[in-house]
Amino acid sequence: MIILLKHKVREADQRQLLHYIESQGEIIHKEEKLLVLREDIPEPDILYRYKAVAKVITRQSSCTLVCAGNSKPEIVIRGNTIGHGDLTIIAGPCTIDDTGRLRETAHALSEEGIKFMRGGVQKLRTSPYSYSGAGLKALETFASIAKELELITVSEVISPEWIVPMTEHIDILQVGTRNMYNYPLLKALGKAGRPVILKRAVSATYKEWLLAAEHLAVAGNREIILCERGIRTFETSLRNTPDIAAIPVMKERSCLPIIFDPSHATGDRRFVLPLSYAAVAAGVDGLLLEVEINPQSAPVDGGQTINIEELRRIMRKLPSLIVQ
């Protein structure tokens, strides 16, 4: 059971509520405006008699911390807002391998007005022989270049032990599609103190995706950004099948901002532009794009990576497509 407290609560009212709750069950997580109980109490409606209570969410409740009806999270990083009507563009290489090319790409993105830069330093790969990232050295290099250009950094974290070094250098942590079901990682990220991009797993239902976000929220992190990146279907001519419908559906079911990754959605750079347009027209809050100065030199996913000119073409038309 989850109990949300009102914004302005007298200490006496809160003590009275806590006294009752502790007589009925076990509090397993406590924040200023949030209490999590191990089990539902027998008569949850009684809680609304207490002045401190704003909302009660039971195991049977259709609405949880990340569902529609809750207040939208305020995700603001150095004056840049994600969600709340703003369209955020996050661009950069899938994986960092060359400092010179990274620096060139960063400068080019900055010149185009991009504020958020992505860059992978570690990746989970299907094959153990595939390039999986340059690790901590690349992390420090990425952070240093981004700081010079005042760029906000985004990078994937693949395991709990990487969270501490990542939070020292990265502004937004990303959970990749393979880790959406990694609940120990989600729980740890809930306490990391950084916004989290949560990618949808390739075969995840909307409900499973929301419940993965709920793991982050219950652990203490409300700064969650959903990311649709294509799903696995019977179609084999594309890397994945884009689920544009996920954008309006999740905006209806969830209070969280949602961004779209057109690069992974098909695995083909030819379709990044039209899918970006489709996502923005569907009401998406942002785009996550794989961009390099020279995509042919990319060690990972070069076929779905666009260059700066292609990014320019995409951005040129976006303002006219934004849903108000």
Per-position pLDDT tens, the chain of length 324? 888 888 788 889 989 999 999 999 888 888 878 888 888 888 888 898 999 998 888 776 655 788 876 778 889 999 999 998 889 999 999 888 889 999 999 999 999 999 999 998 887 777 776 666 667 888 999 999 999 999 999 999 999 999 999 999 999 999 999 999 999 999 999 999 999 999 999 999 999 999 999 999 989 899 999 999 999 999 998 899 999 999 999 998 899 999 999 999 999 999 999 999 999 999 999 999 999 998 888 777 778 899 999 999 999 999 888 876
Rounded-to-integer distance, Cα 260 and Cα 227, Å: 5
Rounded-to-integer distance, Cα 181 and Cα 230, Å: 16
CATH class as words, domain 75-320? alpha beta
Rounded-to-integer distance, Cα 10 and Cα 230, Å: 47
Domain residue limits, the chain: 2-57, 75-320
Q: Burial-class residue 91 by CB neighbours within 10 Å (0-12, 13-18, 19+).
A: buried
39-42 contact pairs (CB < 8 A, 24+):
39/1, 40/1, 41/1
Q: Are the C-beta atoms of residues 140 and 119 closer than 8 Å to each other?
A: no
Give the pLDDT score at 138: 87
Q: Read out DSSP for 48-61?
A: GGSTTEEEEE-TT-
Residue 63's alpha-carbon distances to 14, 35, 201, 233, in angstroms, are: 24, 16, 22, 29
Give the pLDDT score at 324: 65
**pTM (whole model) above 0.85:** no
Q: Are the C-beta atoms of residues 2 and 57 closer than 8 Å to each other?
A: yes
